[in-house]
Chains A and B, each alone.
Chain A
Amino acid sequence: MQAKAVKAIEARLPLFAGFSAHSWAFAVRVWLACLLALYSSFWLQLEVPSSAAITVAILALPTRGQGLEKAGFRLFATAIGVAASIGIAGFFSQTDGLLLAVLGVWVGLCVCATAMLDGNRAYAAALSCITVALITIQQIDSPQQVFPTGVARGAALAIGVLAVALINDVLAAPDYHPVVTNRLEALQRQIMSYAATVLRGETLPASLAAGILKDVAALRPEIASLRTESSSGAARSSAARSAMVDLVTALYLARALASLSTAAMPASVSLDRDERRSNLLTTCRSWLEGELVRRNAEVESSLDALRNGTHPAVRRRAPLYRSGRIAVENGFRASICFTLIAALFVMAGWPTTEVALSLVAVIIGLGATAPDPRKFTAIAILATPISCLLAGILKYFVFNGVSEFPLLAIGLAPVVIGLALLISLPNPLLSSLGRLSLVFTLAILAPTNPQSYDPLVFVITCTLACLAALLTFAAQVLVPPLSGKRRLQLLLTEVRGKRGGLRDRPGRRLSPEETAFREATRVQQIVAASSALAQGQCAVGEAMNDFDRSIALKRCDAELDRLKDGQLAEAADIGRAALARRDAGLLLATAGELRRAATQRNLSAEAACAALVLASVTFGPSTSAAGSIGARKS
């Protein structure tokens, strides 16, 4: 009811110049934070006040929690970047080519780390590369200035972060948890509708389930940002995480019910046991239905905890699937791109090219956090001339020699508010263009006290900025970033390679629900990589089959583990041996034996029995085909 009321109020909010009141409020907050950051920096006589304003532009996010989380990672990554800068400048400052090679390796390492992480953690890895670029590369001829430059940058960043936090708090920037709650509720409805369709006996395409898994897994980085929102943030984040992980399990259970309906009998088992097998399948089905109801109730309970700001009844982790090979290839390619451009600048021997080289590292670093780095560079090519034009108009037509702060505030208003409105648009292309243009405009304008109006410096800066974007694009044409096809190939190779067994990271035992979520993040990556490819449907089908198999294995393993110390330990060992052989017929026979043993001892082993039957169905001959075919009515 409350959500409906909020939506109704939002629908009634007036639009001004095509933007909602929320967008205008966000844009005004960005402008005020920008002014506060600049004013404080001027007052404290910081060396690079523009860095404080750029920090505000980078942290310009519509909700408070997201901005604060990004701010925390920004400060952390800056500290790492400054430490790396001091190390690199200290050890390699007199080594010419070797210094550039080391910088290339650092860029590669950071891009590699970016590919292994998600959300603001990935941004922090990229920022470690950017910080080194802005400190070490810009001070390449004066390494003794690396430490003071690092301190100046750190101070400006801290001012920018404080300005954003203060303005967001004072002007009551909206919370993010209602948005996350709405999205989780919508996904819950979608999954329950999927389950209802399955229970009616209809078969749904694998791509539909993969799409839902992608949407659920996409919430992972956003849920992490709830932690910083308020004192209840940690509880809300935990509740949302539990709901998200349970949603994946609910979808798996619905798929398991579907595979049970379409399961063919294993040919190796004789026909005289048909009735017993049918009983086992019925037991498994009723257990799955009960589990689905229970899981839905847990999701409801977690969503209630999220709304009330309390901890959930069951706390779950949300592990991320990381592909080491994709990360290494990404890092290697980024390193080559950077080294190629650095070598070109060295051969050209132009003065002040360190500015362009540092911008190249910035574009490569930020591009690594985008889904398609080459598209990001293309946006950067578009954003740099726009920013040069805006900065030029501001500098030579609007300000034109003035140095009073109120005039700076008024002059910046249309540009900052306009670009912040662009950031608030739902279109990712326009939003990225707005953010990049705002950051580059502030970087090229470089507000200082007193303001510099040297046209030669301005023209050189603009030329080098445009050149850097163009050269990065050219280098990425020569050494293209990892294509969707290659990413898919690597992911599928890993899928096929791990079929030998269950793999938990040493020292980190995952529950079946957490394993299911990790597999969902892999499906998410496969769906993203295959979105524009002809063979995408087949790949998604294969990924979903592997998703079902991995979870069936894990669940069966967990259920048999529970029996290992009781009277059914012997039967559980036989079950485990059958599981290791992945033999559908043997698994079904073992389930029957286990049930008989449990009945004789007057014990309940329904869950283990059902898990064995489910594993038998999953490893049976029919499901591999059932997953990838299109929608059909049974």
Chain B
Amino acid sequence: MTHTYQELVLDGVLVAPIVSYAVTALLLFLLLRPLLHLAGFAKLFSNPSLAELSLYVSMFGLLALFF
């Protein structure tokens, strides 16, 4: 069965689903950052920024897959 995507409609302007997923994932990621700091996420990786980017991409992918 093909996954259907809902377009966001802002006052008659259609927003592509990929944009809403990207923005939602970004907001969730920003909310997650203080927790990552508390957990010492940056100290676990030699390139923390790449690890954070990977986490964002994973969140974005999961959102697109399940919602």
Contact = CB atoms under 8 A, between A and B. Distances in A.
A165 B54 CA distance: 12
Contacts, number: 36
A166 B34 CA distance: 22
A570 interface: no
Interface in A227-283: 229-232, 234-235
Interface in A393-411: none
Contacts of A64: 49
Contacts of A168: 49
Contacts of B53: 165-166, 169-170
Contact of B42 (A166, A170, A231): A231
A231 B36 contact: yes
A170 B48 contact: no
B50 to A, nearest CB: 5
Contact of B50 (A169, A231, A232, A309): A169
A169 B37 contact: no
B42 A230 contact: yes
B49 A232 contact: no
Interface of A is mostly: helix
A64 B34 CA distance: 19
A234 B49 CA distance: 14
A169 B42 CA distance: 13
Given A166-B53, A169-B53, A309-B42, A232 B37 contact: yes
B37 A231 contact: yes
Contacts of A231: 33-34, 36-37, 41-42, 48, 52
A172 B49 contact: yes
A231 B53 CA distance: 11
B47 interface: yes
B41 to A, nearest CB: 5
A232 B42 CA distance: 7
Contacts of B36: 231
Contacts of A169: 47, 49-50, 52-53
A165 B48 CA distance: 13
B5 to A, nearest CB: 17
B37 A170 contact: no
Contacts of A230: 42, 48-49, 52
Interface string B43-62: 10001111011000000000
A229 B49 CA distance: 8
Contacts of A234: 33-34, 37
A78 to B, nearest CB: 14
Nearest to B32: A231
Contact of A172 (B34, B37, B50, B52): B50
A232 B41 CA distance: 9
A309 B50 CA distance: 17
A305 to B, nearest CB: 12
A230 B53 CA distance: 10
A172 B48 CA distance: 9
Nearest to A175: B49
Contacts of B48: 230-231
A169 B57 CA distance: 13
Interface string B7-18: 000000000000
A169 B37 CA distance: 18
B50 A170 contact: yes
Contacts of B37: 231-232, 234-235, 309
A55 to B, nearest CB: 17
Nearest to A308: B43
Contacts of B47: 169, 172
Contacts of A232: 37, 42
Central interface residue in A64, A172, A231, by most chain B CB within 10 Å:
A231
A234 B34 CA distance: 8
Central interface residue in A165, A170, A232, A309, by most chain B CB within 10 Å:
A232
Contacts of B43: 309
Nearest to B53: A169
A579 to B, nearest CB: 42
B35 to A, nearest CB: 8
Nearest to A229: B49
Interface string B25-42: 000000001101100011
Nearest to A172: B47
B38 to A, nearest CB: 9
Interface string A299-340: 000000000010000000000000000000000000000000
A-B residue pairs, 4 tightest by C-beta: A231-B36, A169-B53, A231-B37, A169-B49
18 contacts: A165-B53, A166-B53, A169-B47, A169-B52, A169-B53, A170-B53, A172-B50, A229-B49, A230-B42, A230-B48, A230-B49, A231-B33, A231-B41, A232-B42, A234-B33, A235-B37, A309-B37, A309-B42
Interface of B: 33-34, 36-37, 41-43, 47-50, 52-53
